[in-house]
């Protein structure tokens, strides 16, 4: 079963185009390191919660949107190897600064336990 690297971030509305351009430049690096796909999602209906919420999680400020992103890997070992490459592969450094506050980014790795696609299912 696949492995997912997920991320939430607060991105300034004025930097949406820069964020998408950054993500498009990052994809070939992820793909070179074994990623199967990458999905970027710009917040559309992301309500503030009373106890928890996406906006609270990233400390959303006025003029920002929550972005949810994930990368699908064939397995955890491939994901781990890619993440390790970020310390040694100069191509990552050449990407430059992220167009958002990385300190408020939330990320993690997830083992896929159920996947349903167009009538197909995996579990």
pLDDT band at 122 (very low <50, low <70, confident <90, very high): confident
What 18-21 contacts at long range (C-beta under 8 Å, 24+ apart), as own/partner pairs, is 18/99, 19/67, 19/99, 19/100
pLDDT at 123: 73
pLDDT at 113: 93
Looking at residues 49-78, what average pLDDT do you find?
A: 97
Looking at residues 57-76, what average pLDDT do you find?
A: 98
The pTM of this model reads 0.92
* pLDDT at position 52 over 90: yes
Q: Read off the pLDDT of residues 4-26 as tens digits, 9 standing for 90 and up.
A: 999 999 999 999 999 999 999 99
Which residue segments constitute the domains of the chain, with CATH numbers given? 3-122 (3.30.70.100)
């Amino acid at each position: 079963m696949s492995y997912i690297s997920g991320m939430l971030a607060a991105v300034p509305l004025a930097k949406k185009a820069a964020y998408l351009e950054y993500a498009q430049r990052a994809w070939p690096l992820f793909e070179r390191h074994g990623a199967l796909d990458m999905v970027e999602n710009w917040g559309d209906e992301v309500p503030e919660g009373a106890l928890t919420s996406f906006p609270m999680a990233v400390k959303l400020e006025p003029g920002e949107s929550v972005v949810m992103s994930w990368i699908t890997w064939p397995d955890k070992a491939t994901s781990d190897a890619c993440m390790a490459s970020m310390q040694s592969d100069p191509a990552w450094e050449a990407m430059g600064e992220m167009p958002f506050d990385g300190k408020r980014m939330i990320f993690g790795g997830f083992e896929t336990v159920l996947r349903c696609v167009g009538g197909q299912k995996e579990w």
